[in-house]
Chain A
Amino acid sequence: MDGKCSAQGWVYSALAEVCRRSSPAAKDEVSTMLETLLPILIFTALALAVIGAVRRIRLWRQGRPSRVNLLQGLMALPRRYLVDLHHVVGRDKMISNTHVATAGGFVAAAVLMILVHGLGIANPLLGGLLLLASTSMFVGSLFVARRRLNPPARLSKGPWMRLPKSLMAFSIGVFLITLPTVGLLPDGLVEGSGSWLLALVLAGVVVWGLGEMFFGMTWGGPMKHAFAGALHLAFHRRAERFGGGRSTGLKALNLEDEAAPLGVEKPTDFTWNQLLGFDACVQCGRCEAVCPAFAAGQPLNPKKLIQDMVVGFAGGSDAGYAGSPYPGKPVGEHQGAPHAPILAPVVMKEGKALVDAETLWSCTTCRACVEECPMMIEHVDAIVDMRRHLTLERGKTPNKGAEVLDNLIATDNPGGFDPGSRLNWAADLNLPLMADLKQVDVLLWLGDGAFDMRNQRTLRALVKVLRAAEVDFAVLGAEERDSGDVARRLGDEATFQSLAKRNIATLAKYRFQQIVTCDPHSFHVLGNEYGDFLQEGQGGSDFNASYEVRHHSTFIAELYDAGRLTFAPWKGGSVTYHDPCYLGRYNGEYEAPRRVLKALGIQVAEMERSGLRSRCCGGGGGAPITDIPGERRIPDMRMNDVKESGAELVAVGCPQCTAMLEGVVDASAEVRDIAELVADALVERPAGDVSGVSRRTTAVTTAEEVTL
């Protein structure tokens, strides 16, 4: 506050100066005045920015500690910003270029301005560069303004609407005050009494620009994203995401430490770099645009959630939020404070806590928002953190959640089935058991789909394929348990860890090269999340190194490449492929399923949203269990996507997706698992081909065609 006042004070004193002396020697005096005024303005704004920064940092440091290598993070910052972040931003070329021009221009202009006007190094070369930078920034800001002319619904309004004007004010102001430095000042322009007025206007414009760009950066204006965003990139909680890596497994709770909070109750229970991450949000609404729950009219909007977290740790109400609300929940009724519970413990009569529980339970953990976020904010982590508190501390897992968790505890599967009946579906298949063989090439992980009559068809198909390819495989049978995926997404970390540890102990008894599963959720959990729970002597220090986990589509693709499978040509109609979130976004496997379909002779008619941007089926994250009502159903929307692609059949690779998409009434397309399609197309290998001629070469071209 006081920053703004003092800035205004400068304007007034300048005004007083103007009133006192209005003489013919105005021109000189005007330039002298600007020369004295500018350094003062610049350094005041910088000082205020520093004060704001300290204040902001103290807000973030309310969070719990988190181990981050600060120096290394800062060193990696330029690369993370210029390469990784722009990789995400670059998906929208227009905005990417606009941002390069504006942000690049601003950073250059700010540095040069400090040198030229702040420190008075009136080097014409520097001045020229400064002019160039401010011009670039101006051009960029024009594009920003154009985007704001008729902004899409996902963009936040409010203060963000003035940002292009502020950018212009800064760039124009800097441009004009730099003109004298390079001696380009047109003489007639500042003569006469008009010159004072002009100088005044100029000073005002510069003050506005400086206020927004420097002061607003650390005091909570739209430019906050630059400051918080840079630090967020430097101290990101998942450093592995930078440099092309992937980090999608949830972070484990330390249950040994009884003092550690179980999940997040109040904003300060987040780690400090999570809080910092929330502050980095630019409210671009890309997350909102891809969120399946938001599209279905469920009360979740990832952008609003992140903004609510900011409101939480800074204190206040969400009334200042100017974007789309949570569907069905008006803005302005919720408030929070750093040490106040985010979710109301009991139903309150007046006013509401920061977030309603159903907002958190609407999430399908599809990670579309995380992948789409240009600031690389981790929405899913935050949601699961808060869910953990609800489940572990309050026992408030909604709808069927409590029952499912009880079943997982008592029977090791979410349906409450007799664990001994896990292999009943395969009574006629004579599946080899791990307990008998001890050592095989491939461990077939069945997943809980083994209890589901629909998924049993998929499993049968997969077994047929494995047998056709003469794969040396076995199953755990009754020794297998739920992977813990559902328990973990429902926030029950205790049950997850118990399942994980017991599964790891079972796996450690046997020797195998890889695990193959037709359930991407098990695939993700086994491959990406079990690593945290290894003890000494269980597969060594690097669990994942002792074997690989594969999705069945990957494995089938490999078998085909190795020439171990032969298919009859596809005779059906047009086919599209639905990417399961836990296979695609969580594990980056977009190509293998398409390769398999290609091998079957299927030309995939891609849906508008596919691959990285595939839309969730609505089956992840325990969403079908918590079942938060919306206006539409997510699988219905997805089946509509299928319909629009014109496909008569949608190939999937996940039991959840199969169940969700098949649950759509009056669907236009049939739902088949890839394993089923492959099993149907199997033909006896011709005698001459038994030598096992590799199809590797053809496969490479196939892959290229798909990526094209």
Chain B
Amino acid sequence: MRPEQQQKQQKPGIDVAVLVSIGRHPTTGRARRAEQDARGLELALAMEAELPGSRIDVLHAGSQDVDSEAALRSYLGMATGVGMGLESMTLLEQPEGSDAILPLVEHLAATSPQLVITGARAERGEGSGLLPYALAEHLGWPLVNSLASIETVENGVITLLQALPRGQRRRLKVRLPAIISVDEAAPAARQSAFGPARRATFLVAPTTSEADSELAQWHLSPARKRPKRLKIIKAASARDRFKAAASKAEGKGGQVLTDVTPEQGAEAIYKLLKEEGVLR
């Protein structure tokens, strides 16, 4: 019964590799599952309904220590009530400060999944968001960024919705194998449960790793607050410059319209909406 079922299900399912990294909480800096990577895993998990029998390989390249282990386990804590081989994750172990691209390319080339899902940017280190592109370039696979949802997977072609700014969507058809990167537009990740996370195991795969020598030469420091851009007045005369500098800042305390007809009120609002360009 069971093997048969599995065989039946194996047909439509595809192999998905989800790349995960160790995140960093924006206010406390604690290790956690990275927001975007978790959304990527969520997308993969949601495919279970669409494509039963899909297998997910969760991949992480990096070192393993107490802090990072808890963060990595929290990805597997999302695997509640789904099979998809989420009892374990593949750990491409490499020392701190190594370049993750090489081992990932090697591993993906060897296991050749049909779909690779990754977060757009890491929350630690350089966080340049170049990794998905590097993988795509090395593997020669097409890449789609800012994925919102996966619609269908048929005959090696995946139809998906790409997120555009302000909630807009674009439909794309991509030939597999492909790489998909996920940012904040993808559906939020499900809750990570303690039980499955605790039971999860790590399959450690040895890798060739190369120290990221370039990064080591750069100067890293906590982000400074960017200076707010000043309103620079380039006026023809000194008098104009003086006037601009001395004029009262705008917007302090809003405009309040009392005792106006609904039409007048509506007109004022309409003007503001037009100015802000939110009326299409």
Direct A–B contact in the complex, CB atoms closer than 8 angstroms: yes
Residues of A within 8 A of B (CB): 258, 262, 345-346, 391-397, 401-402, 405-406, 409-412, 416-419, 492, 494
B residues 174-194 in Cβ contact with A at 8 Å:
190-194
Q: Indicate with 1 or 0, residue by residue over B62-85, a CB within 8 angstroms of chain A CB atoms.
A: 000000000000000110110000
A346 contacts B81, CB within 8 Å? yes
> Which single member of B25, B30, B81, B191 contacts A345 (CB below 8 Å)?
B81
Closest to A493 in B: B194
B193 contacts A392, CB within 8 Å? yes
| A391 proximity list for chain B (CB < 8 A) | 191, 193-194
A262 contacts B81, CB within 8 Å? no
B28 contacts A419, CB within 8 Å? yes
Shortest Cβ distance from residue A670 to the other chain B in the assembled complex, whole angstroms: 28
Closest to A418 in B: B27
Closest to B30 in A: A410
A402 contacts B81, CB within 8 Å? no
B27 contacts A395, CB within 8 Å? no
> In the bound complex, how far is the Cα of B80 from the Cα of A391, in angstroms?
10
A411 contacts B27, CB within 8 Å? yes
A409 contacts B32, CB within 8 Å? yes
- Any A CB within 8 A of the CB of B274: no
> In the bound complex, how far is the Cα of B77 from the Cα of A394, in angstroms?
9
Interface centre among B27, B32, B192, B193 (most CB of A within 10 A): B193
B80 contacts A402, CB within 8 Å? no
Given A345-B81, A346-B81, check contact A393 B195 (CB 8 Å).
Answer: yes
> In the bound complex, how far is the Cα of B85 from the Cα of A304, in angstroms?
39
B32 contacts A410, CB within 8 Å? yes
B residues 158-203 in Cβ contact with A at 8 Å:
190-196, 198-199
B27 contacts A417, CB within 8 Å? yes
| A411 proximity list for chain B (CB < 8 A) | 25, 27-28
Q: Which 4 A-B pairs give the minimum distances between C-beta atoms?
A: A395-B193, A402-B191, A395-B191, A393-B195
| B78 proximity list for chain A (CB < 8 A) | 395
A258 contacts B28, CB within 8 Å? no
Chain B interface, >50% SS class:
loop
> In the bound complex, how far is the Cα of B99 from the Cα of A600, in angstroms?
69
> In the bound complex, how far is the Cα of B197 from the Cα of A492, in angstroms?
13
| A418 proximity list for chain B (CB < 8 A) | 27-28
| A396 proximity list for chain B (CB < 8 A) | 80, 191
> In the bound complex, how far is the Cα of B196 from the Cα of A102, in angstroms?
53
> In the bound complex, how far is the Cα of B198 from the Cα of A492, in angstroms?
14
B residues 24-47 in Cβ contact with A at 8 Å:
25, 27-28, 30, 32
> In the bound complex, how far is the Cα of B195 from the Cα of A494, in angstroms?
10
| B80 proximity list for chain A (CB < 8 A) | 393-396
Shortest Cβ distance from residue B22 to the other chain A in the assembled complex, whole angstroms: 13
B198 contacts A393, CB within 8 Å? no
A394 contacts B81, CB within 8 Å? yes
Shortest Cβ distance from residue B225 to the other chain A in the assembled complex, whole angstroms: 15
> In the bound complex, how far is the Cα of B30 from the Cα of A409, in angstroms?
9
> In the bound complex, how far is the Cα of B29 from the Cα of A411, in angstroms?
9
**Extra 17 A-B pairs, beta carbons < 8 Å, given A392-B193, A409-B32, A410-B28:** A262-B195, A391-B194, A392-B194, A393-B194, A394-B80, A394-B193, A395-B77, A395-B78, A395-B190, A395-B191, A395-B196, A396-B191, A402-B191, A410-B32, A417-B27, A418-B27, A419-B27
> Which single member of A258, A395, A410, A417 contacts B198 (CB below 8 Å)?
A258
A393 contacts B30, CB within 8 Å? no
Given A411-B25, A418-B27, check contact A393 B191 (CB 8 Å).
Answer: no
A494 contacts B191, CB within 8 Å? no
B194 contacts A262, CB within 8 Å? yes
A405 contacts B191, CB within 8 Å? yes
> In the bound complex, how far is the Cα of B207 from the Cα of A423, in angstroms?
47
> In the bound complex, how far is the Cα of B198 from the Cα of A694, in angstroms?
57
A and B contact pairs by CB, cutoff 8 A, 7 listed: A258-B199, A391-B191, A396-B80, A401-B191, A405-B191, A410-B27, A411-B28
Shortest Cβ distance from residue A297 to the other chain B in the assembled complex, whole angstroms: 27
Closest to B77 in A: A395
Shortest Cβ distance from residue B39 to the other chain A in the assembled complex, whole angstroms: 14
Shortest Cβ distance from residue B30 to the other chain A in the assembled complex, whole angstroms: 5
| B196 proximity list for chain A (CB < 8 A) | 393, 395
| A258 proximity list for chain B (CB < 8 A) | 198-199
Shortest Cβ distance from residue B34 to the other chain A in the assembled complex, whole angstroms: 12
| B30 proximity list for chain A (CB < 8 A) | 409-410
Interface centre among A393, A401, A405, A494 (most CB of B within 10 A): A393
Given A345-B81, A394-B81, A395-B78, check contact A416 B27 (CB 8 Å).
Answer: yes
